[in-house]
Structure 1
Amino acid sequence: MKKLNCLLSVIFIQSFFLPTALAQEENTAIVPLPSVDDFSRGRDGWSFGLGLGVEYETAYEGSDEFGLEVQPAGAVQWRKGDNIFYFAGEALGWRGLRADTWLLEAAVGFDEGREENDSDDGRLDGLGNQDEGAELVLQARRALDSDWRYWLVGRAVTGGDGNLGLLGVGRRFGDQLDGTGSELNFVAVFHDSEYANKGFGIDQGQAAASGLRETTLSGGLRSVGIDYNYRHYINNNWQIYGEALFEYFGSEVRDSPIARSNYEAEIGIGFIYVF
């Protein structure tokens, strides 16, 4: 399957490759970061990107099972100066640039939840299903230099099942201003007890039904991680993007019977057509 995916990717690139002819001054993104979707080409008004991605990832948080998942990619965006409003998949949000060094973002999205059949090996049997729920995501990035070569990032996620926070530092590679190139982020993730027990806790009823040890987490450090983002214009309309993520769980999470692995990982690649 991996060889087939690689072959399809090569065929796709060869079929659609044309020399990139986008002038940087005419295609300036709100910030030049590959992890930030910006289809505006530096212009105010509506923009639209549509595509498809394939991810190879863990079946659920803490799982030692991996699988392929196909997901839509892209977004509908409306830009006005240093503000972009967007609808992307299951997220509706806004991001804005302030003083050229602050990128602020607010979005309402959905947590996918978890189902017992997410585990093909029956590792979740007896734990019940977790419903999808809405959550609010607030994020701020602070550039440490004028060209966004380095930055600090903070994120807060809150909803009906607790709170999660993230602190990190990032590094951009390449000199492009159109949001292409690559970047690395190093992060530490924290969660409160409610959020921690949603993913890794086991109450008395679940313990009786599943045979797993009753487990209650207190919250604190959830994990440390690294992620890599890549984006490139194949020609005037086609983008290729990729992401790789590795997250190593903290000791309290690793002790949960739900965490069959000490880490979570995923890798993905996709294509977007920018209209």
Structure 2
Amino acid sequence: MKNFTAFLWALLVLPVFSQTAFAGDSKTALVPLPSVDDFSRGQNGWSLGLGLGVEYETAYEGSDEFGLEVEPAGGLQWRNGNDVYFFAGEALGWRGVRADSWLFEALVGFDEGRKESDSDEGHLAGLGEQDEGVELVLQARRALDVDWRYWLVGRIVSGSDGNLGLFGVGRRFGDQQDGTGAELNLVVVVHDSEYANKGFGINPAQAIASGLNETQLSSGLRSVGVNYNFRYELQYNWQLYGEALFEYFSSEVRDSPIARSNYEAEVGVGVIYIF
């Protein structure tokens, strides 16, 4: 199970925090966006949310195989005014609001890599194993109005296997200020040649072992996509959340033998209990 170590760690530290750390009637989130976890209810100090989610997604990038996966959800957070420090899953990071219209985020997380066994049909046979690696993620959102109804977003992912960039525009639905409601993002994704070939390239040795054509990709457009998030408060301590993602690959990516599908898709839903 992905992120299971972090889930157990959060359970172990749970008794350390008293209920007074989470007290308060204010429910103003750092930013009122469903895609940004905020368990603080507008209060400074520690907050904790734990839950489970179920995802139906492609087995690997470019795959035409789909499967279900159960994952822990939530995380541990420390809020100090307009800054939140968090540990969620396999990511450790910070996010903060500046001038009421900028949301910045920086985190260190893990790329899970790829195994030949990720394909039940054997489509990755001969391509070898890709190890898990550390990635740095930097993100900024710029609100275009006072209540974060519209915004621009930019994200950079950098690791030992190259760099990826995402740029887009978002729209929030609903008037809540507590992070519930729904949002929609339209994005364009670009990558450098190293990142592109990590997912879709085939070097000479892999071509011989797999029988697939040698493939080398250049930097440039990776995909265009749409992402939908919602968050709903079932009760005071319970939240229902969900996400749907559709990413349509560029022509160069689609031409790779690894890309057995023209798109990548994911649908997930889960519940979180806020302590």
Q: Same fold (TM over 0.5)?
A: yes
Q: Name 1:99's counterpart in structure 2.
A: 99
Q: Output aligned runs, 1:63-74, within 5 Å.
A: 63-74=63-74
Q: Shift of the alpha carbon at 1:25?
A: 7.3
Q: How many residues get paired? A: 252
Q: Name 2:213's counterpart in structure 1.
A: 213
Q: Name 2:266's counterpart in structure 1.
A: 266
Deviation per CA, 1:160-197, whole angstroms, max 9, x where unpaired? 00000000000000000000000000000000000000
C-alpha separation in 2, matches of 1:225 and 1:205 = 32
Q: Name 1:194's counterpart in structure 2.
A: 194
Q: Is 1:51 the equivalent of 2:51?
A: yes
Identity of aligned residues (%): 77
Q: Name 1:168's counterpart in structure 2.
A: 168
Q: Kindly provide the amino acid, as one letter, of the partner of residue 54 in structure 1.
A: V
Q: Shift of the alpha carbon at 1:48?
A: 0.1
Deviation per CA, 1:224-275, whole angstroms, max 9, x where unpaired? 0001000011001000000000000001000000000000001000000000
Task: Give the secondary-structure state (helix, strand or coil) at the position aligned to 1:222.
Answer: strand
Q: Name 2:90's counterpart in structure 1.
A: 90
Q: Is 1:228 the equivalent of 2:228?
A: yes
Q: Shift of the alpha carbon at 1:144?
A: 0.1
Q: Shift of the alpha carbon at 1:219?
A: 1.5
Q: Is 1:136 the equivalent of 2:139?
A: no
Unmatched tracts of structure 2, length 5 or more: 1-23
TM-score normalised over the length of structure 1 = 0.91
Q: Name 2:146's counterpart in structure 1.
A: 146
Q: Name 1:7's counterpart in structure 2.
A: none
Q: Output aligned runs, 1:2-41, within 5 Å.
A: 26-41=26-41
C-alpha separation in 1, matches of 2:25 and 2:82 = 15
Task: Give the secondary-structure state (helix, strand or coil) at the position aligned to 1:42.
Answer: coil
8 Å CA contact retained: 2:150, 2:169? yes
Q: Kindly provide the amino acid, as one letter, of the partner of residue 41 in structure 1.
A: R
TM-score normalised over the length of structure 2 = 0.91
C-alpha separation in 2, matches of 1:53 and 1:166 = 25
Q: Kindly provide the amino acid, as one letter, of the partner of residue 76 in structure 1.
A: L
8 Å CA contact retained: 2:134, 2:159? yes
C-alpha separation in 1, matches of 2:183 and 2:262 = 25
C-alpha separation in 2, matches of 1:246 and 1:155 = 17
Task: Give the secondary-structure state (helix, strand or coil) at the position aligned to 1:56.
Answer: strand
8 Å CA contact retained: 2:25, 2:41? no
Unmatched tracts of structure 1, length 5 or more: 1-23
Q: Name 2:180's counterpart in structure 1.
A: 180
C-alpha separation in 1, matches of 2:38 and 2:133 = 27
Task: Give the secondary-structure state (helix, strand or coil) at the position aligned to 1:26.
Answer: coil
